[in-house]
Structure 1
């Protein structure tokens, strides 16, 4: 493919190759670390193990072998195969993505939500027939499933990186530095595909995201077994499962919305997305539910109402701000929002939610993520890891967005920043 379509990347993110190497090694390690730092097996959250016990475990070959579970690996491969077959077999409409640099548009098959419903139906039916004890294996074999998902993510990242060197591959503008460590991490090819099957979008919202919900259901089953039935499962765990399940269902139902996101339009598919989608999402995001299995928390009506308020405020900000933006993009302006026109002809909102801060949808997202952790109480900060991680992720994404907008709008973007000075948190940041 001509170099004009695949220009050499001249700038780095994530502190360059050294940062990319650190994250490549750190993400798998961090996934395991969050399990052992907050698990019944290691003595609680945080664990009560002293350094001598930790060093003894790390020097024991049996401990390392315990990270591998053949049955968990086969079950994970079966799950991934189920997602692949569902994509191929379940009917779905085709939606065009954004225009590529080649002038073409990819066609994406939309059937993630029916896949979710099918997986949910089969799971609940299985539990109904065989009881909650039949579906505790995701919790019982947690480290083994982590290992299997990491291996799947690494294998796909390696395969896609190797395939990106074939003639005709369209590369990501940010993943063609020539540095193997960095390009492998960030993703070299923009849309690795096998025929009409797009690897990146499939992994983005299917195997890991749906598995996250199934892991949470396994936690409910585990607590039901311990406490003598689903009627005795704590309100805190039900609330976490409800919040996170609704989030997953919303993402899958609105599947076409991902085709305008930076992950799809700009980023290549490398280690960052592959391991992030397949391992980090289901086995880090389910930390709160897993914690509530071995540390049950009873909330009561007042605390449930307070947590619901946080969730609903976040949801309102997220939905209403996105609604303002989408209506404005379609040429409608029912609220008579203020805006100014850039030299390129684009229009930027300067009132409403988008006049309050430059990324109000991120603010709503953060409040909703806080509501996921509040049911765990305040015994440990570890269950609030997702909130802290998500805040860092959104700040990084905001900076990337702002850099892209500055390149796109030039001096008009500086004018916009004067009109809307706050990035995510009004009057704070």
Structure 2
């Protein structure tokens, strides 16, 4: 009876149910490869001529040699070594143990916080390596790009399959949205809430370690590749992309405890959706702009550099200020004396400050930063703006999921709150 109460069958679907889950499971790897083969030196540019896309793609997928070329043994072994390194540093580097939120079984998981120190160690090692052996020694990620993508996909599939199989063991706490009984959907969305081995929590580990840190290493490899081609000095555009994305990652790692209250950690199960998102999509899609600038070099000049920097700083200010207000309020502090409404459940919802301007002001800041990462590539192709476009769709979907959950949780109080704060992300727009 207890297990039934804790793990009720999921009654509804997201992502259009099993057909949608299957299409996304196939579509994410397909899109990752397509963004490389459709925007690279090997394809002749970005975007390749439309009249050649289908004949080229059809010829490739019908050739067994092309399929074999997706796997690179050296890249696979290097990727496994990288994942093992991040796991080892989690284990041996010191860090505080922080409580997560109370789960519905009444327990709290503890999470080891040492991602920032892991990143500092990694940057020290990489910097020393490049200083000793030169930038040409760190161009291997660019050269073996497809192999690294395949390695990360294989790791994602392996983890998702292992966690799905392990979720049927007795005593597992399942995600409320991942217990439908349909294997395609549950494999994708994630059946078990917190797959763990002892004190090691796989979901939170993947969230900000192997993929997020690899994203920066990829950017550094792109800068090294461009510097080698130019004989020493990379362009201001690729440096700007590196600095923006480096700053974003450093901020996330430094504020590691903040992820413990996100929907990914508290609500979603760990399945293929999170595995492939963390390990493949983040490092290899988010670094598209840096990879593009290797072979399509753009010189911005001081004026454009300053303008793009201003967009990024504005986005970061909104993102950090909004999250700061929320975190202060959740922890019982209200230094700005912000107004709030109290629901019948006793919960308090902010209605002034950034959270009075829209229901998700942090998303607005995130999107401005995403735009700033694409602007250094110029306007010769729409492909380098794929990330900000995708991110807009993702955040709107996430906002709608959050609003639906809040409506179930707060009922008529949520409708009252929406009248006070009518805009969802962008004030006066949406």
* TM-score band w.r.t. shorter chain: over 0.9
Is structure 2 residue 373 aligned with structure 1 residue 377? Answer: no
Other-structure match for 2:235: 234
Distance in 2 (alpha carbons) for counterparts of 1:370 and 1:193: 36
Other-structure match for 2:314: 313
Distance in 1 (alpha carbons) for counterparts of 2:321 and 2:275: 31
Q: 1:2 to 1:63 in 2, by over 3 A?
A: same
Distance in 2 (alpha carbons) for counterparts of 1:98 and 1:21: 31
Distance in 1 (alpha carbons) for counterparts of 2:9 and 2:386: 36
Query: What pairs with 1:177-256 in structure 2 (closer than 5 Å)?
Result: 177-229=180-232, 232-256=233-257
Structure 1: give runs of 5+ residues left out of the alignment: none
> 3-state SS of the aligned residue for 1:94?
strand
Structure 2: give runs of 5+ residues left out of the alignment: none
Distance in 2 (alpha carbons) for counterparts of 1:221 and 1:334: 45
- The match for 1:152 among 155, 179, 183 is 155
> 3-state SS of the aligned residue for 2:46?
coil
> 3-state SS of the aligned residue for 1:4?
helix
Give CA deviations for 1:227-261 in whole Å, capped at 9, x if unaligned: 111xx200000000000011111111111111100
Distance in 1 (alpha carbons) for counterparts of 2:55 and 2:180: 44
Query: What pairs with 1:105-120 in structure 2 (closer than 5 Å)?
Result: 105-120=108-123
Q: CA RMSD in A?
A: 1.1
Distance in 2 (alpha carbons) for counterparts of 1:78 and 1:237: 27
- The match for 1:141 among 127, 139, 144 is 144
Give CA deviations for 1:130-152 in whole Å, capped at 9, x if unaligned: 11111100000000000000000
Distance in 1 (alpha carbons) for counterparts of 2:54 and 2:342: 60
CA shift, 1:354, in A, is 1.1
Query: What pairs with 1:333-348 in structure 2 (closer than 5 Å)?
Result: 333-348=334-349
> 3-state SS of the aligned residue for 2:298?
coil
TM-score, L = length of structure 1: 0.98
Give CA deviations for 1:329-366 in whole Å, capped at 9, x if unaligned: 33333333222211111121222211111111110110
CA shift, 1:50, in A, is 4.8
TM-score, L = length of structure 2: 0.97
Other-structure match for 1:46: 47
CA shift, 1:127, in A, is 0.8
Distance in 2 (alpha carbons) for counterparts of 1:349 and 1:302: 39
CA shift, 1:422, in A, is 0.7
Distance in 2 (alpha carbons) for counterparts of 1:238 and 1:171: 44
CA shift, 1:263, in A, is 0.2
Distance in 2 (alpha carbons) for counterparts of 1:196 and 1:10: 31
Other-structure match for 2:301: 300
Give CA deviations for 1:288-328 in whole Å, capped at 9, x if unaligned: 00000000000000001110111111111112222222233
Distance in 1 (alpha carbons) for counterparts of 2:283 and 2:13: 28
> 3-state SS of the aligned residue for 1:340?
strand
